[in-house]
Amino acid sequence: MWHLLSLVIGLVLGSFLNVVIYRLPRKNLSISRPSYSICPSCGERILWHDNIPVISYILLRGRCRKCKAKISPRYPFVELANGFCYLINSYVALNSLEFIALCLLISCSLIIAFIDLEFMLIPDVTLFLVALASFMVWLVRGFGLYNLLGVAMVTALMIVLGLLYRGGLGSGDIILMAALSLSLGVISSFYTLILASVSAIVYALIKNKGKLLMKQKIPFGTFLAPAGYVFLLIQRYIPM
């Protein structure tokens, strides 16, 4: 029952994440107003029965009821991903504080992933919430002092990489990785960096049809945040 409830909460909050992903980087829009959802194409209010996570998207065949404009598949994807991860968190978390922290982390990671992908920026509020979630996980998992050394090492490495590869790593990426490394510790932080780098390179290769351009800007936060979440989940099960 608890697991099913986690899935449903994740799906419903996933719908809210879509609102945040759309409105947060657009300076002329507010997260709270209007309080209802609107179609990005025609501006028409979306009624509650057309706004049920995933189900409405399928019933409406991915189109707005009013103007028939296509709705991005990002909407059901974010809802499903958030719901599925909340379900996993309900199995992995040792207590309710860790569950809340892991849920906060994956929700922020989804926001960061899609905003960075589109706008090449990581909003400050999401960095703050990732730091808070990471701090909570660090507390629950025995606040190892060794992890503080990890934060220092990872941050120093990221600054050096940022200097070597100018324009490739923004200050947002460095702060994001520093925040994650508190709960990840030294080893998992390096695994996270490797997974994020490989994913980013694969993404760049696909986008440029097989060519890797040094000057190309890559939204590193898109890969860093979810990679950090993955290693926080599996940390207990991998040999250190």
Q: How many CB atoms lie within 10 A of CB 96?
A: 10
Candidates 5, 29, 42, 201; binder of Zn ion (CB under 5 A) is 42
**Tokens (6 digits) for 110:** 């989804």
Contact pick of 9, 41, 121, 203 for Zn ion (by CB under 5 A): 41
Given 19, 38, 46, 66, the residue binding Zn ion (CB under 5 A): 66
Minimal distance, residue 38 CB to Zn ion, in Å = 8
Q: Which is nearer to Zn ion, 67 or 94 (CB)?
A: 67
Number of neighbouring beta carbons within 10 Å of residue 227: 25
Provide φ and ψ at 45, rounded to 5°.
Answer: -65, 135
Which of residues 45 and 236 has its CB atom nearest to Zn ion in the complex? 45
- Only one residue has tokens 């507390």, namely 139
Q: Which residues contact 238 (CB under 8 A, 6 or more apart)?
A: 188, 191
Q: Is there binding between residue 72 and Zn ion (CB under 5 A)? A: no
Q: Are 102 and 92 spatial neighbours (Cβ–Cβ below 8 Å)?
A: yes
User: How many of the chain's residues bind Zn ion (CB under 5 A)?
Assistant: 7
What binding mask, one character per residue, do residues 106-135 give for Zn ion by CB under 5 A, x or -?
------------------------------
Q: Is 213 a residue that touches Zn ion (CB under 5 A)?
A: no
Q: Which of 157, 144, 222 lies closest to 183, judged by CA?
A: 144
Q: How far is the CB of 75 from Zn ion (least distance, A)?
A: 13
What is the chain's length?
Answer: 240
Q: Which stretch binds Zn ion (CB under 5 A): 65-73, 96-104, 126-134, 157-165?
A: 65-73
Partnered with residue 38 across adjacent β-strands are 45
Residue 71 is a binding residue for Zn ion (CB under 5 A): no
